[in-house]
Structure formats: structure tokens, C-alpha cells
């Protein structure tokens, strides 16, 4: 590693030769403010908030793109710099819709924080014609409000680079510049997959999910409704961030306690349905391998990935597992088996899912997801929406005692817990598939080769005389590369896991929004996933097919994995979607 010697604010430093000034300053414990910068995603020096003085340079330079060099002397906090940053903020605010009190991002807005830091007063310093406002809620999932957009382009980079989709971009020029779809079409008219990565990248309230909490409060107030809630595997290690707790804190017990205090009749665990999904998916994989079925089998848990497949590569639909996602399996089982056991009319059962994913809102509305004759899931909320509900209910989350999920749909295994991390579905399925094939208990449960936050992980496993070649992929731009190999016949995989969001559900578009300072310096996906693997190791049961409630479900209703009844309730189909 080659080093160079520089000075920042008079402090001598030795830093990597390929560092920018911004990276060097961070190494020295100096925070330079940014707005447009996201490490590895959007490094364009456009917002000018990160400007610094470099000795010998004729003007201020953008530290996020300016490389260090031997002997460089940098100042990051002079009056000239302060005045420049303050003027930049005032210019941004001159065309910004300032409704901070009612904005969904109030208190968690990077622009708002910088205005506080630099003493921006309420009155406008620059008057002029406000750009024409544009509000788009056409998808019913993602809401775009260009009156709060600051043209940082972080959403554009997340959509195009991370996800390889690029349905939003920069339109027009000069004062008319704005972010939008091609020809300013609404999002519903373009092949957006509703993954929500644009939302977690946005520094302001210009992008957010459609707020469905009102529907849940209404159902909770209706005495005729039996309102049930279930929480996805990753929520327990992210919800705490909504209340200032460290990234990766497992708050499962407090989460259950909060949901009871909100008023839900039953608080169940989506991990139960994750175990159920694995039993069905492992059965499907084995059936395809042994009976000449279409391979590779590709997982179907991520609705953003499913929508991507339907839009961009419908020729691969035959590769998709027909298993519903855990969210939808949970709803289907709740409105059939559980409703029957409790003597409740499925029409009166109202299922709420707490999910890490904005695309789950879309998935809950798919026509074919209604095993009981009613939608499997009535409302899908994000982690952020649950956080808002807890705050509105006046619940002191930090001080809550730990409580347990209700049974039987609260029973789960460690295999269900790791669903929230990229590679987790693959590992959980391998644990069950291996025992099904070998017909004896596994001695090794950890498939570490498919763990980690890398975009693509590959491995070969020898199981019962079979060589199983697998891949675990996260982020749709990474998936595109693997899909091309499958389409051209270059791939020899038998099993592929694809998650739409980089790092998996722990980094989903519905998770707590962390500012750029945190996103640029913390491995959010890795830290959150680590907590899920710790939970897996701590549980007495770590294989999905050992879940006692799943066994009872098969005895009472489904008969056996892959049965006709199981297919009627737990499996689904997909459709080719027109891109334009």
C-alpha cells in the first residue's frame, strides 16, 4: 500500500495514495459535510457541500472527487469554506418546498441537519420562480415529490448502478432540470420493480413509500376484524435503529412487546413461514434434480427480483420456484389453517406484514395471492412505518420488556432467521435438502461459502453423491450478469438465490434510513446480517423441517411437502409484463 504525506488543518497525515481528500479527512477524524456523495455509488462532486481549500489551488475544490498528492495542504473549516457551504444551502432552499413539520423525513433529513449546522435562517435569501411541482404516487408503492428534490442524483445512481435498471434520470437542463422517468412518464408506466433503493439513498423527503399505516389503525379500531401481525426475519435487527439504537441490535423481544401494545390480537413470526417456504422449496429443488425439471431453480422470496424477472427476462420465468414468499405463505396459512382452528371467518381476518421491502406492498396485491378466497396479506408495512406507529402509540420502545411471539405461528428455527441476509435462503434450503437426500441428520449446518455481503457468491457442494453447484446473488445489477449466463447456457448451476437489494433484506428499501455519513462508513448489511447469524447459532432448532408447528401444519392440512393441497395454498404463478 503506497502512502503519501499531507496536512489537513495543519495535522500531518500519511494516507493511501488513491484516497480522495474526503477519505483522508475521515481517517483523521474530520467530518466534511456531503449531500450528493454516496461511496461507490454516486461520486460526482455535484452538490459542492464538500468543498475545501487546497494550498495552491485557485478555487475551492470538491473533496469527494479530488485526489490527495504528496505534500498537499488542505483546510476544511475556514470562513471562506463556511460561507460557500452556507450559500450553497441557501440556493438549494430557494427552490425547495419547506414543509419540515409535516415532512416524512423531518428529524431524519440530511438537508435539514446541514441547515441547522450552518445556521440557515427561515426566510428565503434568494427569491425566484419555483419549479413546477411534480407528485407521483401512481405505483401505490413509491411516492416521488420533486418539490423536495435537491438534484443530488443519489436515487438515479442507486437505480442505474446498484440495480442496473435506470428508470429514473435527469431530464431537461438549466433551471428546468429535474429527476424523472423518460418523457416524464409516471413510475407506474415504466418497468420500475419497486425495490425502494432510491428511497434509502435519498437525503430528503423527495422519495418515500406510500404510507399504509392508516389502513392498519382503521382495522385495529374495527371490532369485527381479527387483526394479526407478522414480522420478517430482518426486522428484529433493524427496528432498533428507528429509536437510536446501534446498527445490528437484535430487538426481537421489544418488537413483540410493542406490537402487542399497539393492539394486535396475535403477534406472529414470519420466520415460521420462512421455514415452511424452505420445506416446500427444498422439495421442489430435489424433484427438479431427480426428474429432469428446469434448472437452475431460482428462488422466489424477493418480490423486487420477481418483478424484475417478469419485466426484463420473462424467458426465465420457468426457472423460478413456484413457492410463494414467506410473507404470502404466512397470510395463506393464517387465513386457512389458523382461521379454521380458531373458528374465524377468513373474511374477518386482517393480516399485516412488517417487511424490510417496499416491493412487498406490490406483492401483497398480486391477483394470484389469495388462497382463502381473500388476499393472503391485507397490508404490508415497512420497518419505517412500524417505527412511526410505535411513536404515534406513545410507546417507550427502549424501556419495553422482552416478550415472546404467540404460538403456533411464532415457532421458528435458525434457518428461518437467516432468510434476511443474502445467502440465507440458500443456506437454509441446503440444510433441509441435504437431510432429505441423505436421509440422516447433518453433522455440518453452516454453509459459509454463501455467506457475506459480496454481490455474487458461488460454491459446489457434494450431497448424497450429487454435485450441487449454487450461486447466491444480491443487487439486481449483479443478478443481471448471472442471468445472462443462464440464458446463454454458460451456467451449470442447479440452484440460485437472488435478492433484489444489495446485501439482502437487511438492506431492503423499507429499512430505517441512515444518513450518508453512516452509509459511507458502516457496513450496514454486514452488521445487520451478523446479528441474524448470531440468532441462528443461539436457537435450539436450526433446520426448517424440524419446526414443530410446520410439522403439525402438514399433519392437519397439507399432508406432505409438495402435495396437491400444498400447491393450492403455498404456490403461485408469474406473468410476463410489458416494459413499455
Could you tell me if 451 and 168 are in contact, meaning their C-beta atoms sit under 8 angstroms apart?
no
SS3 350: strand
Helix (H) or strand (E) holding 86: helix 79-93
Question: Does residue 281 carry a catalytic annotation?
Answer: yes
C-alpha–C-alpha distance, residues 484 and 313, integer Å: 9
Is 39 catalytic? The answer is no
End-to-end, the C-alpha distance of the chain in Å comes to 49
Instruction: Give the HSE-up count for residue 338: Cα atoms under 13 Å, Cβ half-sphere.
Output: 28
Helix residue ranges, H only, 358-444: 359-364, 383-392, 414-417, 424-438
CA torsion sign for 57, 60, 63, 66 is negative
Catalytic residue among 252, 427, 505, 543: 505
Q: Which string of b and e fits 540-555 if b means at least 16 CB within 10 Å?
A: ebbbbbbbebbeebbe
What is the enclosing helix (H) or strand (E) of 269? strand 266-269
Question: What does the alpha-carbon distance between residue 199 and residue 205 come to, in Å, rounded to a whole number?
Answer: 9
Q: Which of 218, 342, 347, 368 is catalytic?
A: 368
Question: Is 363 an annotated catalytic residue?
Answer: yes
Q: Is 110 a catalytic residue?
A: no
Distance, CA of 372 to CA of 384 (rounded, Å): 29
Alpha carbon distances (Å) from 559 to 92, 373, 435: 62, 21, 19
546 an active-site residue? no
* Choice among 53, 209, 284, 497 that is catalytic: 284
Farthest CA pair distance, the chain? 80
From the list 194, 321, 353, 544, the catalytic residue is 321
**Of 436, 435, 462, nearest to 449 (Cα)?**
462
Is 210 catalytic? The answer is: no
Query: Catalytic residue among 252, 266, 335, 360, which?
Result: 360
Question: Active site includes 469?
Answer: no
Catalytic residue among 23, 281, 497, 535: 281
Q: Which residues contact 425 (CB under 8 A, 6 or more apart)?
A: 278, 281, 299, 301, 419, 472, 497, 499
Strand pairing report for 266-269 and 3-8: unpaired
DSSP-based helix, strand, coil % in the chain, nearest 5 = 40, 15, 45
Residue 186: count of CB within 10 angstroms of its CB: 15
E strand intervals along 364-518? 379-382, 456-463, 466-474, 495-499
**Catalytic one among 301, 323, 357, 501?**
301
Active site residue 198: no
The residues carrying an active-site annotation are 281, 284, 301, 321, 360, 363, 368, 505
Amino acid at each position: 500500500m503506497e502512502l503519501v504525506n499531507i496536512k489537513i488543518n495543519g495535522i500531518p497525515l500519511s494516507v493511501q495514495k488513491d484516497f480522495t481528500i474526503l477519505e483522508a479527512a475521515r481517517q483523521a477524524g474530520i467530518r466534511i459535510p456531503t449531500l450528493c456523495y454516496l461511496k461507490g455509488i454516486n461520486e460526482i462532486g455535484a452538490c459542492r457541500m464538500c468543498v475545501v481549500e487546497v494550498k495552491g489551488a485557485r478555487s475551492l475544490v470538491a473533496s469527494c472527487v479530488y485526489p490527495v498528492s504528496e505534500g498537499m495542504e488542505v483546510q476544511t473549516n475556514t470562513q471562506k469554506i463556511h460561507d460557500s457551504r452556507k450559500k450553497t444551502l441557501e440556493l438549494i432552499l430557494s427552490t425547495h418546498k419547506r414543509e419540515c413539520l409535516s415532512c416524512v423525513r423531518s428529524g431524519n433529513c440530511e438537508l435539514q441537519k446541514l441547515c441547522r449546522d450552518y445556521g440557515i435562517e427561515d426566510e428565503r435569501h434568494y427569491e425566484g420562480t419555483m419549479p413546477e411541482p411534480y407528485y407521483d404516487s401512481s405505483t401505490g408503492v413509491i411516492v416521488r415529490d420533486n418539490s423536495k428534490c435537491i438534484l443530488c442524483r443519489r436515487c438515479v445512481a442507486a437505480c442505474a448502478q446498484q440495480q442496473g435498471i435506470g428508470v429514473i434520470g435527469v431530464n431537461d437542463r438549466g433551471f428546468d432540470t429535474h429527476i424523472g422517468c423518460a418523457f416524464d412518464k409516471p413510475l407506474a408506466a415504466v418497468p420500475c420493480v419497486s425495490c425502494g433503493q432510491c428511497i434509502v439513498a435519498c437525503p430528503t423527503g423527495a422519495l418515500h413509500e406510500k404510507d399504509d399505516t392508516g389502513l392498519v389503525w382503521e382495522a385495529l379500531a374495527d371490532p369485527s376484524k381479527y387483526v394479526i401481525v407478522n414480522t420478517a426475519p430482518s426486522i428484529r435487527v433493524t427496528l432498533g435503529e428507528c429509536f437510536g439504537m446501534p446498527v445490528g441490535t437484535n430487538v426481537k423481544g421489544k418488537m413483540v412487546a410493542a406490537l402487542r401494545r399497539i393492539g394486535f390480537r396475535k403477534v406472529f413470526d414470519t420466520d415460521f413461514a420462512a421455514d415452511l417456504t424452505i420445506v416446500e422449496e427444498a422439495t421442489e429443488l430435489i424433484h427438479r434434480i431427480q426428474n429432469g425439471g428446469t434448472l437452475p431453480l431460482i428462488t422466489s422470496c424477493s418480490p423486487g427480483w420477481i418483478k424484475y424477472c417478469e419485466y426484463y427476462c420473462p424467458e426465465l420465468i420457468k426457472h423460478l420456484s413456484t413457492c410463494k414468499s414467506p410473507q404470502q405463505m404466512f397470510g395463506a396459512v393464517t387465513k386457512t389453517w389458523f382461521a379454521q382452528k380458531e373458528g374465524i371467518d377468513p373474511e374477518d381476518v386482517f393480516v399485516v406484514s412488517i417487511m424490510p421491502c417496499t416491493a412487498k406492498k406490490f406483492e401483497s396485491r398480486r391477483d394470484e395471492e389469495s388462497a382463502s378466497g381473500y388476499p393472503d396479506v391485507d397490508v404490508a408495512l415497512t420497518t419505517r412505518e412500524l417505527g412511526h406507529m410505535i411513536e404515534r402509540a406513545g410507546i417507550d420502545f427502549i424501556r419495553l420488556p422482552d416478550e415472546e411471539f404467540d404460538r403456533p405461528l411464532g415457532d421458528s428455527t435458525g434457518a428461518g432467521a437467516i432468510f434476511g441476509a443474502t445467502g440465507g435462503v440458500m443456506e437454509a434450503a441446503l440444510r433441509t435438502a441435504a437431510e432429505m437426500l441423505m436421509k440422516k441428520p447433518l453433522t455440518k449446518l453452516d454453509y459459509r461459502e454463501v455467506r457475506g455481503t459480496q454481490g455474487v457468491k458461488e460454491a459446489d457442494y457434494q450431497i448424497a453423491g450429487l454435485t450441487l453447484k449454487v450461486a447466491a446473488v444480491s443487487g439486481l445489477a449483479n443478478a443481471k450478469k448471472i442471468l445472462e449466463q443462464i440464458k446463454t447456457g454458460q451456467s451449470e448451476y442447479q440452484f440460485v438465490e437472488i435478492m433484489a437489494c444489495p446485501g439482502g433484506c437487511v438492506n431492503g428499501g423499507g429499512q430505517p434510513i441512515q444518513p450518508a455519513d453512516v452509509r459511507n462508513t458502516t457496513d450496514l448489511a454486514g452488521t445487520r446480517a451478523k446479528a441474524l447469524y448470531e440468532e441462528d447459532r443461539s436457537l435450539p432448532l436450526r433446520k426448517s423441517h424440524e419446526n414443530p408447528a410446520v410439522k403439525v401444519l402438514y399433519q392437519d392440512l397439507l399432508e406432505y411437502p409438495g402435495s396437491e393441497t400444498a400447491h393450492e395454498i403455498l404456490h403461485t404463478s408469474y406473468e410476463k409484463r410489458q416494459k413499455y
